[in-house]
Amino acid sequence: MTRKAILRGVGHYLPDRVVENAEMETMVDTTDAWIKSRSGIERRHFAAEGQLTSDLAIKAANAALEDAGFSADQIDAVVVATSTPDTTFPSVGTIVQGALGTQGFAFDVQAVCAGFVYAMSTANAFITSGQANRVLVIGAETFSRIMNWEDRTTCVLFGDGAGAVVLEGGDGDAGILSTDLNSDGQYRDLLYVDGGVSSTQTTGVLVMQGKEVFRHAVEKLAQTAETALEKAGLSSDDVDWIVPHQANSRIITRTAQKMGVSMDRVVMTVQDHGNTSAASIPLALSVAKSEGKFKPGQVIVMEAIGGGLAWGAVVLRL
Ligand code: UT7
């Protein structure tokens, strides 16, 4: 039996402040009807002033640890997926480690909206190679801090939040069955932040060619999910749940259609969270678990795409 990374716990945290589409109407030239019909988003959460990405990550991590029944000192690696760290360095991972008292090592992975899939794949590699046994994988973002509030085509789409999972090495049928990672740097201008340490010495704001990203998403997400399933020796028929990156309900629906998976097997939280980038998949996982959706033995496919472009998928048996 080969060693696998088994899902032991899931948790999430959303900041208290909920911003409904109606409030967006007071901030930019937009309408609830446009946002809902083009993206599926109805509301999003924004972090409070002074509330940092690591604050959200720590709360989500504590919830996942509690769900797993582990104490922080039983964790030997922390991998945080984020593009909105508290500061340029140290990593959010080490801030979480310092706050919780986890053992071993901690660091960040930056693959924008595909970050959680990349972080899961990284954690899986540590576990299957024996370099770590219990890994906390977190997706945490404060995208509200990198919005251009003059650009109605992007600022209505994003939100803040964090989700976390605890993975543990073990034998048996359950665990991560396969991962598939891809990127293509020729598309870097489709989705980027126009500032940074080495270029402008400012944080910058998000810039997106939404239509183009949409086109790539629809094409590439089903492709990577199917490749990951093939690597696991499975097909779409074996999928109990798709837990997709939550950017746009139309992308989620079209990807499921392409894969031949009915919508009652797709977890959708974009209406309540907006696009929380690397946090969106673990947030959706945690919400679905708390609603009692998951059963032991079920197969989950997670898929995501974002800036880079970077995209990928993870197949997990519960
Ligand atoms: O998470 C990382 C990956 N990101 C994504 O997956 C996002 C991918 N893209 C999308 O989700 C969609 O492309 C958007 C939701 C961003 C936009 O939807 P769309 O159907 O592609 O709309 P569009 O950009 O073609 O805009 C259609 C119209 C335009 O007006 P005209 O030129 O047709 O007169 C826009 O000016 O909608 C207008 N528009 C708005 N109207 C009201 C754009 N933003 C807004 C707005 N409110 N907020």
Query: pLDDT tens digits for the chain (318 residues)?
Result: 689 999 999 999 999 999 999 999 999 999 999 999 999 999 999 999 999 999 999 999 999 999 999 999 999 999 999 999 999 999 999 999 999 999 999 999 999 999 999 999 999 999 999 999 999 999 999 999 999 999 999 999 999 999 999 999 999 999 999 999 999 999 999 999 999 999 999 999 999 999 999 999 999 999 999 999 999 999 999 999 999 999 999 999 999 999 999 999 999 999 999 999 999 999 999 999 999 999 999 999 999 999 999 999 999 999
- What number does the ligand 1 atom closest to the CA of 155 have? 48
For ligand 1, say whether the CB of 36 is within 6 Å of any of its atoms: no
Indicate whether residue 111 lines ligand 1 (CB < 6 A).
no
Q: Is the shortest distance between the CB of 247 and ligand 1 below 6 Å? A: yes
Structure tokens at 198: 């080495």
Give residue 206 CA to ligand 1 midpoint distance, Å.
14
Closest C-alpha among 108, 105, 132 to residue 53: 108
Evaluate: CB of 309 within 6 angstroms of ligand 1.
no
* Mutate-to-test residue for ligand 1 from 21, 28, 38, 193, highest number of ligand atoms within 8 A of CB: 38
Contacts of 80 (CB under 8 A, 6+ apart): 57, 91, 92, 93, 96, 106, 107, 108, 109, 119, 138, 139, 140
What is the end-to-end Cα distance of the chain in Å, rounded?
A: 17
Taking the C-alpha atoms of residue 295 and residue 270, their distance in angstroms, rounded to an integer, is 23
Report, as residue numbers or ranges, the catalytic residues: 113, 245, 275
Q: What is the pTM of this model?
A: 0.97
Is 219 in contact with 291 (CB distance < 8 Å)?
A: no
